[in-house]
Amino acid sequence: MNRKQFGNRKSIRLPDHDYSSSCLYFITICVDWYVECLGSIHNNAMNLNEYGKIVEQQWLWLAKQYSYIELNEYIVMPDHFHGIVMINDENEPTTKIKPLSEIIGAFKTTSSKLIHQAGLTDFKWQRSFHERIIHNLFQLDNIQTYIKNNPTK
């Protein structure tokens, strides 16, 4: 696949949305050049390798690092990651809440660093990430099902 096919990427973020306010997001992050380096699929199940386990570990780390983050369904795939994250600012009157881009940036930076230290020195996430705002329980249920069934596709 030729990266030039995508042209110059433009921001897909909504200009009037506050990405640090309470909201549920469906996140997709791809490994650069779609290199399948995080594990493999056998019998319709994802089997994480050492690097995939690091990605999972750092996703779970987000909820420990940021008290206003709640994690929902997620999956590490061979060349990408899907997850649902909720920013909950209701109980944080004194804490500065980071916007979604900084939270995902922390995830990508820490996971990349640990993967490099584990030996895959040329590992890299694609620039940016895709996010979709989840507006209701119907959408949440559909996205959770999509994530759970992702290895079968």
pLDDT confidence of 91, banded at 50, 70, 90? Answer: confident
Residue 44 lies in a domain: yes
Query: Residue 37 belongs to what domain range?
Result: 18-146
**Burial label, 77 (beta-carbon count in 10 A; 0-12, 13-18, 19+):** buried
Q: Specify the number of domains making up the chain.
A: 1
Residue 86 lies in a domain: yes
Predicted structure pTM score: 0.90
Tens-digit pLDDT profile for residues 35-87: 999 999 999 999 999 999 999 999 999 999 999 999 999 999 999 999 999 99
pLDDT at 59: 98
Residue 1 lies in a domain: no
Give the CATH number, domain containing residue 26: 3.30.70.1290
